């Protein structure tokens, strides 16, 4: 899991049908790297979040083969 902070949104006017509904957010990790993660819980810019990556992120959507590599799974209370 990655602990990070939402630093912006990524806009995509075209995408494939198997991407689940949600926002694409840019998350900066505490280590300094950034990742684009799917947000299905409604996080805002500046919010501290937990991100999971890889097959765990994609397997959250059992009825669809979602091409998701990073998924926001929690908002950290500060």
CATH number at residue 8: 2.40.50.220
Taking only the tens place, the pLDDT of each residue in 29-40 is 988 899 999 999
Taking only the tens place, the pLDDT of each residue in 47-74 is 999 999 998 888 888 888 888 999 999 9
**Is pLDDT at 21 greater than 90 in this prediction?**
no
pLDDT classification of 42: cutoffs 50, 70, 90: very high
pLDDT classification of 41: cutoffs 50, 70, 90: very high
pTM across the whole model: 0.89
Tally of domains within the chain: 1
Do 69 and 53 contact (CB within 8 A), yes or no? yes
Determine the structural domain holding residue 41 and report its residue range.
Answer: 2-75
Helix residue ranges per DSSP H, 1-78: 55-58
Question: What b/e string do you get for 12-31 counting C-beta neighbours within 10 Å, with b at 16 or more?
Answer: eeeeeeeeeebbbbbbeeee
């Amino acid at each position: 899991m990655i602990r990070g902070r939402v630093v912006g949104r990524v806009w995509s006017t075209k995408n494939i049908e198997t991407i689940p509904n949600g926002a694409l957010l840019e998350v900066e990790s505490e280590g300094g790297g950034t990742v684009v993660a799917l947000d299905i819980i409604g996080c805002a810019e500046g919010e501290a979040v937990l991100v999971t990556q890889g097959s765990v992120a994609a397997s959250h959507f059992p009825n669809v083969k979602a091409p998701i590599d990073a998924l926001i799974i929690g908002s950290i209370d500060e």
